[in-house]
Each structure stands twice: as structure tokens, then as C-alpha cells.
Amino acid sequence: MEDYTKLAATLTALVRELVPVVLAEAIRDGQVQVVRFPGERLALTVKEVSETLGVPAGTLAEWRKKKRGPAWSKPGKTVLYPRAGVEEYLRAITVAPRQGVIPAAASRR
């Protein structure tokens, strides 16, 4: 139990140290900036986007030919999808339920 107490104390100290730094980086001149954490990549591979969207890689290739789907780039021979572009695409295709409609899961009870 003592190990967990030490770990909790260490994590608490780390959070107290890092949160102000992250917030200071996120807000400069009154503007919110994009903050990336170490190890976070800006772009996703075709496989990652395929898994995220639930569509085959071939569908993504067709969408690229037809200028549809999420934004992409091709530095060299590798197709990459900017994380922000995939998130924007997901927001654009999201369908919000109408007001007053009971969600499907609740209507089956």
C-alpha cells in the first residue's frame, strides 16, 4: 500500500507542475494555441484512418481520387491524413438527433 501512496504523491506533484505549463502554452496573447504532447503525431496513416472511420483502405483511395473524405497529403510516397482534418471530417458528417426524439437505445426499454 505504501508504494501506491508514493506513486499517488509523485503523480499529484507531476500534475501540479505540468498543468500550469500546458495552460501557459495553450493560451498566448489571449488566443488558444494547439498544444501537442510528446509522442502525439500530427498525422494518421491510411490504416489508422480506415480503422477510425470504419471504411476499407480502398474506399479512402477512391475518396482521394474523387476529392472526397478527410483532408490528406502525400509527402513523398506516403499518404497521410492530418489529425485535425480527420476530426473536422467527423464533425462534418455527424448527424445530431432532432429535438424531442427519444434515442434508439432508450426506446427499446
Retrieve residue 28's grid coordinates. Answer: 498566448
Separation CA 78–CA 93 (nearest Å) = 26
CB 57 within 8 A of CB 46: yes
The C-alpha cell 476499407 sits at: 56
Residues of the chain with pLDDT > 70, as a percent, come to 68
Predicted confidence at residue 34, as pLDDT, reads 58
CB 35 within 8 A of CB 20: no
pLDDT, the chain, mean? 79
Strand partners, 28: 31
Q: Domain locations in the chain?
A: 2-32, 43-93
Neighbours of 55 (CB within 10 A): 14
Q: Of the ranges 25-34, 61-70, 85-94, which is most confident?
A: 61-70
- Name the pLDDT band for 23 (thresholds 50, 70, 90): low
Phi, psi torsion values for 83, nearest 5 degrees: -55, -45
